[in-house]
Structures are given as structure tokens and as C-alpha cells.
Amino acid sequence: MITVSVLVTIDIPWARSLKDKRGVVRSLVERLRQRLHVAAAETGMQDDVRAGEVGFAVVSGSRAAARHQVDETLRFIESELLGRAEVRDVAQDETELE
């Protein structure tokens, strides 16, 4: 079993309040859960108005399938944020259990 955990840091330069920022982050997290069926959550930077942190995880029986799902999810995030925010950093951790 392969587990890939991904932490995505995003910039929301136009946000003027936590309400603006949370609208972007919560929308992204919900869409990840509903459309791609990945475990996702806002994981940090809750008090930073112009930045957010979203984590998601993928579990699979094969490394290739897990990496494919991660790549697909990252492309989805880029397209969802287009014009509203941008990805600043992506960190990944892969764990294999036998």
C-alpha cells in the first residue's frame, strides 16, 4: 500500500479579509473531496489573510496509481485556482507499507 500526502501552499494576493481567503480555500477543499474523492483539509495558515495551506492524501495499492492521482489532483487545483489564487509551493511525502 502506498500513501502520498501532499501539502499545497497558495497565495491569494487580492484577499482583504479572512472571509475572502476562506471562500477560496473552503471551496477548493470541498471540490477536491466531491470531484476527486481525496481526503483534503485546510491544514495551516488559518490566520494569514493572503495565504493558505491545503493538504490532501491519496492511498493506493500501486505507486503508479497513487502518483497518477496526485498529478491529476495538482492539475485540478491549478485549474480551480486560476484567476483567484496561485500555488506557491507543493511538498509531498510518500510512504509504502507492506
Q: What does pTM read for this prediction?
A: 0.90
pLDDT in tens, 2-34: 999 999 999 999 999 999 999 999 999 999 999
Q: How far apart are CA 84 and CA 10, in angstroms?
A: 10
> According to the CATH classification, is domain 2-96 in 3.30.70.1120?
yes
Over residues 46-55, the pLDDT tens digits come to 889 999 999 9
Asked if 41 contacts 55 with a C-beta cutoff of 8 angstroms, the reply is: yes
Report residue 15 as a C-alpha cell. Answer: 484577499
Specify whether the CB–CB gap between 72 and 64 falls below 8 A.
no
For residue 84, which phi and psi values (nearest 5 degrees)? -115, -30
Q: Cα-flanking dihedrals φ and ψ of residue 62, to 5°?
A: -130, 145
Domain residue spans of the chain: 2-96
